[in-house]
Amino acid sequence: RLVESIAFDFDKFGRRGQEMALRSLAVDSCAKAYLDRHKGATVVALAEGFQTSFWRLNSALPNADFTWVSVDLEPVMRLREKLLPSSPRITNLAQSALDYSWMDRIDARAGVFITAEGLLMYLEPHQALDLIAACAARFPGGQMFFDLPPTLVKRLAPRGMRASKHYRVPPMPFSLSKRRLAKLPQTVPGITAVHDVPMPKGRGLFFGTLFPAIWRWGPTQNLRGSYTLLEFG
């Protein structure tokens, strides 16, 4: 329904795979587990775009009482408010995730779960790591989910990947292998644990069986992308 309400030719982006839907399943699973343990917690969705995670989690959790803070640039937020329903439990902040003043608006007393879907890879490495470090320092007891592409992407396509003849994916200057992600507690104060989140099963032979198996297979784990869950303490 949301896609149908937007007058845009989405075919320019090329093939329609399941990757983004599977990422949403992964982050929903992590967020639900946190919210099950932290009643009344706050979820912060950085660069949320037109994600509908709030309503999925609200339906999945009995007696849901979490609050939601959506952070995105002003043009995106204007469209989000126009196209998606409102809720007294949702606060929209029209600003960059790199403007850390959003942190001052977060009620962290019951816990904080931060999502950064499809964000960090488009930042410069120092920006991405500074954002992670700032979240770890500000929200002890919280968690943060983010995804990253394979490290080869920034080497093989420094100017971005061609998704179709009409669209080139922007450059992705930041990524870390599973091995380097596991070392973050040694280099970033406040990070107490790093979890490599499994790839959920999708539909069909490839996304339902082969892709999750390749994701788990040892020799590929430092070559593939990552879904990462950080714990702060």
- Residue-wise pLDDT tens digits, 26-77: 999 999 999 999 999 999 999 999 999 999 999 999 899 999 999 999 999 9
Q: From CA 59, how far away is CA 184, in angstroms rounded?
A: 34
Q: Which stretch of DSSP H or E encloses residue 82? A: helix 74-83
Q: What percent of the chain has pLDDT over 90?
A: 70
Which positions ≥6 away from 100 have C-beta within 8 Å? 134
Domain of residue 165: give its range: 3-232
Q: Which pLDDT value is given to residue 8? A: 57
CATH number of the domain that residue 222 is part of: 3.40.50.150
* pLDDT, the chain, mean: 90
Residue 192 in this model has a pLDDT that exceeds 70:
yes
Structure tokens at 121: 């890879």
Q: Which pLDDT value is given to residue 205? A: 86
- Long-range own/partner contacts, residues 151-160 (CB < 8 A, 24 or more apart): 151/175, 151/176, 151/177, 151/223, 152/223, 153/121
Q: Which pLDDT value is given to residue 11? A: 60
Asked if 215 and 126 touch (Cβ cutoff 8 Å), the reply is no
Q: Which pLDDT value is given to residue 146? A: 98
pLDDT tens per residue across span 99-156: 999 999 999 999 999 999 999 999 999 999 999 999 999 999 999 999 999 988 777 6
Listed ranges 16-20, 120-124, 168-172, 212-216; the one with the highest mean pLDDT: 120-124
Confidence band, pLDDT 50/70/90 cuts, at residue 221: confident
The total number of structural domains that make up the chain: 1
Confidence band, pLDDT 50/70/90 cuts, at residue 164: low
Strand partners for 45: 70, 115
Strand pairing category for 162-164 and 143-148: unpaired
Which positions ≥6 away from 185 have C-beta within 8 Å? 191, 192, 193, 194
Q: From CA 155, how far away is CA 88, in angstroms rounded?
A: 44
Q: Which pLDDT value is given to residue 2? A: 56
Q: From CA 93, how far away is CA 25, in angstroms rounded?
A: 24
Q: From CA 136, how far away is CA 1, in angstroms rounded?
A: 37
Structure tokens at 214: 């390749």
Q: Which pLDDT value is given to residue 200? A: 87
Asked if 118 and 50 touch (Cβ cutoff 8 Å), the reply is no
Residue 227 in this model has a pLDDT that exceeds 90:
yes
- Long-range own/partner contacts, residues 78-82 (CB < 8 A, 24 or more apart): 79/50, 80/48, 80/49, 80/50
